[in-house]
Structures are given as C-alpha cells and as structure tokens.
A and B are shown apart, each in its own frame.
Chain A
C-alpha cells in the first residue's frame, strides 16, 4: 500500500524540457511515455491520447519544431528538447493562432478531443506549405483520425488558416510562412 508517486524500486530520471518557451523539469521512470509526462507530470492536459499506438495523431506535439506522436516517445528520449503543445499555439497576446482561429470559424471541431493533434500538425504543415492546394491539405491531415467531423470542415480550416496567416502577415509576404509557427512573437 502506498500513495500516489510511490515507486519502490523504479529508478527515476531527471528530465529537462523547454515547453512552450519555458524550461520545465520532471523526474520520470524510463518507461514513462512523453504523452503521459506532458499530461500528468507537466499537467498540460491539452495533449490528448486517443490510441496509444501512434495511429490516431491526437497526441501530436511539435518536438524541436517537427510534429511527432508523443505516445510513441519515451519522455527520457526527449530530454533537452523544445516542445510545443496545443497550449503553446496561441499568440503571445492571447489571440488565437491562425490555425486555432480557422478551426473556430470553419466549425473544424466537434468534441475537440482529436483537435489538439490536428492543430499542431497543421501548424507545422503550413510552415512547410504555406498555400496548400486541396490535395496538399488532404495530405497534411491524412494521418490524423477524427470521428466527429467527417474532415470536411477540417480541410476548410486548413485553407482558412493559410489565409489568416497571410492576412496577419499583412503586406509582408516573406513573413507569411513562419509567422504563426516558429516565431512566437508573431507578426508585427
């Protein structure tokens, strides 16, 4: 009998991550999944776990900028990395990011459970392909499962997000691609 956190015999490892721009530490057993570490150790519960075997994409985060499935990584393997979760997508002034805003405008979510993974995936996707055509938009979300929306409005959200990024970048077309993603300072 023991209380929460009691882990006789299990070696704990010190972990240091930059999470949404802030340095965070945790002590975790080697087997702890990164998704569980984010959700339960760091208490960032916006990252959701839908299948625990890398198929649904709900747990997608950005690891050093690249979308990864946090349920397929051990937390210890991410030591030293910079990660962005859904909680870190909004603009510094609190405004929704272009992708978040597009999901709201286009009814791109219903229950919201898979949404975090779509938001992070599309955020990274639009950085690589700022103006996707329909085929590219489908490809961009092709690895994420949603049981509610039938994807129609998620596709619309991808296109709308690209548009919002351009709108927010204003007359600076060179800034359009990265504005919403890698530079949290956002457009001027």
Chain B
C-alpha cells in the first residue's frame, strides 16, 4: 500500500546536525543576560540568613533574587503535576528555597549578570548562613524515619498505595511452594549530554513572552509559565529548540529555572538565559531507579505462580512534582508477560534528602522487570527447571489477548494488554542466543578455567499512553507539505518518522514534507514526549490529519478536473486520474484553487482570483461547511495504552580474579508492532541497551551519609563509553499489531533499557552460581559476594546481607 512505512529512510534531521548547524538552547540568545544559581551545599538545613552585601558590587551584575523577592504566585511551591489519591503528603519545591533546603543543589538565590562567568562570580560572593539538620539519605534511613525530611510528613511517607487482584494471601497460603526474595536496585539518572536550559525574551510593546526551553513538553511549560506569571496562554510562545537528549528528566516542568528566567527577563526588560552545567545537572535536576522490594511468591510443582505478593519502598527524593508515576509503573509493569493467579502489590513512596526522583527511560519498568525476572529465575532454580520453561508456563497466551491484569495503569485506565505473542518471542530469543547449545559451551569454558553464564529477561512495556496528541498538516501553494505536532523531540528522529507517514498518506516525496515539533506557535495542544508514545500518538494524529488533507485535495482537484474524487489518486505530488499519471494537477495548484482569492501574487495565484472563472456564481466561493486551504487538523486519543514486549538474552564472562564482567553476547527480540523505520527503532534499542548495561554494571549515585553526591561528574559517574557496551547487539523483531491505533504501532523508545539489569543479573548468577539480588553490580560487589560465599558455602544461603534465604543450588546451571 505504501512505500515509506517500514523503510530505512535516512534521517532528515541529520544534514543540519552533522554540519554543526543545530540550534540547541545555549546556541540561542547571544545577547541574553546569563543566570547562575546559588545552590545549597547541605542536604538538609534551615536558612538563617542571606547576605548579598559583597555581591551587590560585582561587575556586570544585573540582579539578585531570593525567595523574598518573588511575587505571590511565584512564591508558592511549584505544581504537583500528577496528583493521585494515594499521594497524601505531596510536597514540591519552591522556585527558590524558602527557609529550608532539602537536598544539595536546591536553588537558594538567582543571579543575573552580563555573562555566565560574571554571574558565577557574583553568586560566589553571596553568603548564605545555614543551620544544618539531620539528613535522611537512602531507603533504610527513610524507612527507619528516625529523622524526617519534611517535619509535617510522618514516617517520611509521601504515599502508600495498594493494588490487588484475587486473594493473594490465601493463594500463597495454599500454594505447594513459597519463596521469598529481597531485591534492590540503586539510583541512576537520565544524564543527557545536554543539560537543562531556558531562554526568555519579553516584548514590552506587545506584552508577549517567547520562551525557548530544552524540554520534553512545550505545552506543559507554556501552561505552567503562563499560570505562574499571570499571563494568558496567548501571551506565551514556548519553542523547543534542538534538544541534546532527554530520557525523561526533561519531562518535569516547570523547573524552577523555567519560571524564574522569564520572570526576570520581564522585570529586567532584557533576554535572560540559563544553561545548566554538568555539576548542576547531577544535583539540581532529577534521578531515578532506587527501590527495595520484598517478594513472596507461591507456586505449584510445575512452576506456575499461584500468588505473588510484592512489598516495595520507593525513594522519591526530596520532592514529588511528578507524583507517583514511577512506583505505579513499577507496581503494574512488574507483571510483564505473566499471569499470576493472584497478585498484590503495596508500596511506600518515601522522602529522602536527595535529588528528586522522576522518570528516567523505562520509568519504573527496569525495577519491576528486575524483580519479576529474578523471581522467575529463583523459582526455576528451586524446582530445578529450565528458566525458559518456567517462564513459558506463566505466559499469557496469544489467544487470551486482550488480557486484563485487573489493575489500574499509570494513565488511570485498566491495565489491559492489547496484543502480543510471548511464546513466539521466546522461541525467537532461544534461537537467537542459542539457548539450548549453551551448556556444552559453558562446560568447555569451565574446562579452560573460564566462567561464562547465560540469562534472559522478558518484559512488557505500556507505551503510547494518552490522553492525546494532535497534528496539523497543510499543503503550501508551492506543493510543499508542512506538518506540525505539539510534542517535542530529543533526537529520536521524529521529523523523519512522521514525514514518512505523511508522505505515504499524501503521495508526496518525503523531501517535500517538513515536520515541526514542540513549537506552540505551530500547534498549541499537546501532552509531551514520554512513555514511548510519539509513534503511537503523533504518528496516528499526523496520519489522520493527512487523510483529511488528502480527502480535501481530491475534492478540490475533482472539481477542477470535472471527475469524481473516487477516480483520483496522488502520486509524487500530482493529483491525477487513476491509471493516468500524466494528466493531472499538482498539489500546489490544488492548494491555490482551494483558496478563492481577490488578489493575485503570482501567475499560479491568478487562477484562483475572482475573474478567472470556474466558480459557480450562484454559490458562495467558500461553501458554508468548507474552509479555504488544503489543510487538516486531527487528534488521536486512544482508549488506553498499547503494550510492546520483548526478551533480552545475554552471555557474560566473569573474571575469576578481578570479578569484572564482560558481555560476550547481547540479543534483543523486540515487538513494538509494525516498524515505521527499522533503522530508527534499532537505534533506539542500541541506545537503550547501553543505558541498561550502564545501570546494571556501572552507574550509581554515590551519596554519602551527609547527603553529598560524591560522584557528581562524568569522571566519577561511570556512564558507558564504547568500551563498556556489547560489541554487537543482535536484534530480531516480531511485529504484532495493536488494535488500538490506525497504524498498529506500539512505541519503541524505552524497550532497550528495561531488562538490562535483569538479564545481566541472570547471566552473572549463572556464571557464578551466586544469587544476585541487587544491581548495579560492580566488580567489588561481585568480589564481596564471592567472599561471602566462601565464608558461608551453604547451598541455599543468600549471600547478600539483608537478603532473605532463597533456595539456589550453588554452582547449578539452569540452562538446558
């Protein structure tokens, strides 16, 4: 039917970017004043005084602001973006601290000066006096609640939430076997190469604000800034320039800087810019991941899960502007492709004196996947069953789709899987990694004194969440097609992918299609880019809008050509009678004819003027139910999320001496529905896998007991270089269409990262014969696990301190 859907189209974004002609936030506004922030050096403290005296004479200074300077609306706490009934103690930060700071890096004062150097000079001269308070760092401290982060939040508990289907306690009590596991996963962060940034320009004459911000939601920022500054939406344009990566952290809004910078720009009558530096990004944006889980699972002799009870604790950092999305996603997506007969999950979301926790690629799913897949492996070990067999016995069958998990998902809608074929995925994964051929390889390696292990991990990922996205498609009189959708891009290749869809629908060359995202001047209604939703949401919206445009173009052309619209088609931008591609008119001409003119601006336009003839003088030039122009606007709002799925499998080698982990093979089997652009999807998988490897083996946020982040630089926070990622990521696709959108697509942005910790834990466990219950796992961690095993070589003993005993035959392999 179409030529570009499914094609490896080269990205339209790239020519500009490889020439260095991209326009990222800090590339804009060369005339702008620069903002710098005084940030708290304490994790928890009362502010007892702020002395600006020495700073006021600083060269190039334009202004200094503290909380006391803020007007009433700005002086309030920032919005709690996603309220939830279980979030009984939601706390959000003030744009500038009001009397108390709750994490290192919290903004206390804003300095505006001629350039960033001078702004930092002045900031250094501001003397803030603090009375330090006890810092609550880590989940153990948060749970113990000896000290409180917020004095008015008992037990440090922001929320407690429970979901259940079936009678889990009874199911576990009646189960032939019961296993308990304690599992944990540490903090990591999105860490895009470009930090946050915002530039504001206020025009006093027109009373309008233009705001550029490195965000994942321009419409969200627009609404929040308008509300905070007391402006009408029509007074505020928000433009997302090129964005140097997001991965979740830039969906949070408004950041303090996003409201303070435009406010200052208006006060000062000068453009003002804030560009976050790397050390600020570590302590003043957001982290993710940290959770502790206690799992109780009841199962039968075949390994079928009869009852699954998960109790977990989520470290939400100092504030919860993004609500409970991460733990809700964990608690629901934990189930993956499985159907426990009964499931109960309860979590506490707890405050700590650390950077706030908001979604990072995967957004709660990697933790859930880790917990479920570790449980599956433990269960297989206990029954001495192949790990793939146990999984298969618990899979939801394709015939059971759509499958209702009996829970409420992160969008407030029932957790109903739309489609998927998990047995087919497993068969592909076994084939790709060579699961059945592994045991002799392992034995051969062992004979050489080498330790290798294999593991796999399955996941289901709710993608394409609502509520909606929209798009506008317009044919210019030049024949070029302009497309706008409101969500934003951070490098995913949206312009290419969306142009493919529009070019297909309209029958125009892709070179004639130009897509703009994240610019409220072009499209004002949107939600944002998160949850792997762009292909589903904006992909569907541009498709529907393009269909409207095509219908209109055919109708206008049919009148001009005096044929029926049903007899026409569009090929390479020409509207023509089917089977006769040479006799037609161009889409550009159709655009001219669609707009009855009084004034001609060129020869083509003359054809649409009032004395050119052709229109029926008894009718109005534009019919009552019609509009001028060949353009269309459409919205897509699905009833609920789509559910992509996949399986990762890996073979690792652990060094007997250094305990380093080498990834020998990494295989991905992935089902995101039909692929619009396989090259882009595979790129998303590659990047996700690298982040998954980072989260599994290298990345952690190292807070000391005082709440200082001691590895807050790229020197010490170990983001993978090429030397840390698998040499080759082997990929196979399955394409199970979704019934929930016109394209059948599901979304692919986060899939690569989700099973990273789970699959590598499984493979390391297989290589070492030691239960792995906590990630990330550094060589030192593995070395300590080995030491613990040597001291307590009892089979079935869980070597990790604080972890419950789990039956795991030492040295056993579950493969084959």
Contacts and interface: CB of A to CB of B under 8 A. Distances in A.
Interface of A: 1-10, 29, 31-32, 39-40, 43-53, 55-56, 58, 85-87, 89-90, 96, 100, 103-105, 107, 109-116, 119, 134, 138, 141-155
A55 B193 CA distance: 11
B357 to A, nearest CB: 19
B117 A105 contact: no
Interface residues of B, number: 67
Interface in B24-77: 24, 26-27, 30-33, 59-62
Contacts of B715: 53, 55
25 contacts: A2-B114, A4-B114, A46-B20, A50-B714, A51-B713, A55-B715, A56-B714, A58-B193, A87-B21, A96-B18, A103-B18, A107-B680, A107-B682, A110-B245, A112-B244, A113-B245, A115-B18, A116-B20, A119-B18, A144-B721, A147-B691, A149-B683, A149-B686, A150-B690, A151-B686
A48 B244 contact: yes
B687 interface: yes
B470 interface: no
A21 to B, nearest CB: 15
Interface in B84-135: 114-115, 117-118
A46 B22 contact: yes
A55 B26 CA distance: 20
B427 to A, nearest CB: 25
Given A48-B24, A86-B19, A110-B493, A150 B60 contact: no
A105 B15 CA distance: 10
A134 B192 CA distance: 27
Given A47-B20, A104-B14, A107-B11, A145 B719 contact: yes
Contact of A53 (B24, B115, B270, B278): B278
B23 interface: yes
B392 interface: no
B117 A151 contact: no
B14 A103 contact: yes
Nearest to B685: A150
A2 B117 contact: no
Give the interface centre of A58, A141, A143, A148 by most chain B CB atoms within 10 Å. A148
Contacts of B679: 107
Contacts of B32: 4
A58 B679 CA distance: 24
A24 B243 CA distance: 29
A3 B719 CA distance: 39
Contacts of A85: 20
Interface stretch (B652-660, B722-730, B774-782): B722-730
A89 B18 CA distance: 9
Contact of B729 (A1, A47, A145, A152): A152
Nearest to A144: B721
B114 A150 contact: no
B60 A55 contact: no
Contacts of A2: 59-62, 114
Contacts of B20: 44-47, 85-87, 89, 116
Nearest to B32: A4
B728 A152 contact: yes
Given A48-B24, A87-B20, A114 B193 contact: yes
A109 B687 contact: no
Given A113-B245, A148-B245, 5 more contacts: A4-B115, A51-B278, A109-B14, A150-B752, A151-B690
Given A4-B31, A147-B191, A10 B59 contact: yes
A46 B244 contact: no
Contacts of A96: 15, 18-19
A142 B722 contact: yes
Contact of B10 (A86, A104, A110, A114): A104
A104 B61 contact: no
A53 B712 CA distance: 12
B713 A6 contact: no
* 4 nearest A-B residue pairs (beta carbon): A46-B20, A111-B491, A113-B244, A150-B686
B322 interface: no
Interface string B154-167: 00000000000000
Interface of B: 10-11, 13-15, 17-24, 26-27, 30-33, 59-62, 114-115, 117-118, 191-194, 242-245, 247, 270, 277-279, 490-493, 679-680, 682-683, 685-691, 713-715, 719, 721-723, 725, 727-729, 752
Contacts of B15: 96, 104
Contacts of A7: 59-60, 114, 118
Nearest to B18: A100
Contacts of A49: 26
A5, A49, A150: which has the most chain B beta carbons within 10 Å?
A150
- Chain A, interface SS category: loop
Contact of A3 (B13, B19, B114, B242): B114
A112 B714 contact: no
Contact of A43 (B30, B242, B493): B30
A107 B27 CA distance: 24
B722 A50 contact: no
Most central of B21, B26, B244, B493 by chain A CB within 10 Å: B244
A43 B270 CA distance: 20
Contacts of B686: 149-153
A134 B725 CA distance: 14
Contact of B194 (A48, A103, A107): A48
Contacts of A113: 22, 24, 192-194, 244-245, 491
Nearest to A5: B114
Contacts of A112: 13-14, 17-18, 22, 242, 244, 491
A165 to B, nearest CB: 16
Contacts of A51: 278, 713-714
A142 B721 contact: yes
Given A45-B23, A50-B278, A107-B680, A6 B193 contact: no
Contacts of B752: 150
Nearest to A157: B18
Contact of A141 (B59, B114, B115, B722): B722
Given A50-B194, A111-B243, A112-B13, A39 B26 contact: yes
Nearest to B190: A147
B18 A104 contact: yes
Contact of B713 (A55, A150, A152): A55
Contacts of B491: 109-113, 148
A58 B26 CA distance: 14
Given A46-B22, A149-B683, A110 B492 contact: yes
Given A3-B114, A53-B715, A147-B719, A90 B19 contact: yes
Contacts of A40: 30, 115
Contacts of B10: 104-105, 107
B30 A150 contact: no
Contacts of A110: 245, 491-493, 683, 687
A45 to B, nearest CB: 4
A147 B723 contact: no
A86 B115 CA distance: 25
A150 B729 contact: yes
A50 B22 CA distance: 15
Given A32-B117, A142-B721, A144-B721, A109 B18 contact: yes
B683 A107 contact: yes
Nearest to A111: B491
B347 to A, nearest CB: 29
A8 B193 contact: no
A45 B193 contact: no
Nearest to B686: A150
A144 to B, nearest CB: 7
Given A112-B13, A113-B24, A149 B687 contact: yes
Given A110-B492, A112-B242, A149-B687, A100 B722 contact: no
A40 B31 CA distance: 10
Nearest to A148: B687
B11 A104 contact: yes
B114 A142 contact: no
